[in-house]
Amino acid sequence: MLNSSKILVPRSFSDSYAIYYNPNNYLSLRFYRLHPKREDVVTLVAYLNTTLISLIIETLGNRSLGLGVLDFFMADFLSLRIPVVLNKELNEAFSRLKKSPILPVKEEYGFKIDEANKLIGIQPRSERKQLDNIIFDALNLTKGERDAVYEAVINLVESRLNKAGSV
């Protein structure tokens, strides 16, 4: 028998990331169902929607599917030893983020380039920045390190999509 879960993780990603809170217990075979051991599901979903997790998914995902799709295996995710930051402030930040559209990473992180294709700045959307800052603060990341995380995700996604486009 199939059981639903309050957390749904997509099996594949393109140029955006979202882990879904599923309070109505919908069931879909295109998502992994994550059954947390703790009761604070919303805080965990908020954490899973941070850019830190996007970086981990992009780094460890399987790029061999073609067309630039990143396949992600739940067994790999569950075996990770990642820092988990459960902070009640995540709930408020997540409630703002989940009301906004899911955007490609370049738009989500406010990646700005000049005419020579050189990076001139990163300005994440306010909803994104509020959520990520809670985690970045807990990890004591500097502004430069935070920007490097955003830039790394963008570069990994662009590289994967460009490689698919060149084949």
89 in a structural domain: yes
- Amino acid identity at 165: G
What pLDDT, on a 0 to 100 scale, did the predictor assign at position 154?
93
What pLDDT, on a 0 to 100 scale, did the predictor assign at position 65?
67
Long-range contacts of 116-120 (CB under 8 A, 24+ apart): 119/151
1 in a structural domain: no
Share of the chain above pLDDT 90, in %: 53
DSSP secondary structure letter of residue 116: T
Residue with token string 């590289």: 159
2 in a structural domain: no
Residue 54 domain boundaries: 7-166
3-class DSSP assignment, residue 60: helix
75 in a structural domain: yes
CA 34 to chain centre: 15
Provide the terminal-to-terminal Cα distance of the chain, rounded to the nearest Å: 41
Indicate if the pLDDT at residue 20 is higher than 90.
Answer: yes
pLDDT tens digits, 73-130: 888 777 777 777 778 899 999 999 999 999 999 999 988 877 777 777 889 999 999 9
pLDDT tens digits, 121-138: 889 999 999 999 999 999
> What single string gives the DSSP state of each residue in 152-167?
HHHHHHHHHHHHHHH-
Q: Is 16 exposed, middle or buried (0-12, 13-18, 19+ CB in 10 A)?
A: middle
Phi, then psi, of 124 in degrees rounded to 5: -60, 155
Domains: count for the chain = 1
63 in a structural domain: yes
* pTM for the predicted model, two decimal places: 0.87
Q: What is the CA radius of gyration of the chain?
A: 16
**Confidence label for 163 from pLDDT (cuts 50, 70 and 90):** confident
3-class DSSP assignment, residue 32: strand
69 in a structural domain: yes
**C-alpha–C-alpha distance, residues 28 and 72, integer Å:** 16
What pLDDT, on a 0 to 100 scale, did the predictor assign at position 73?
85
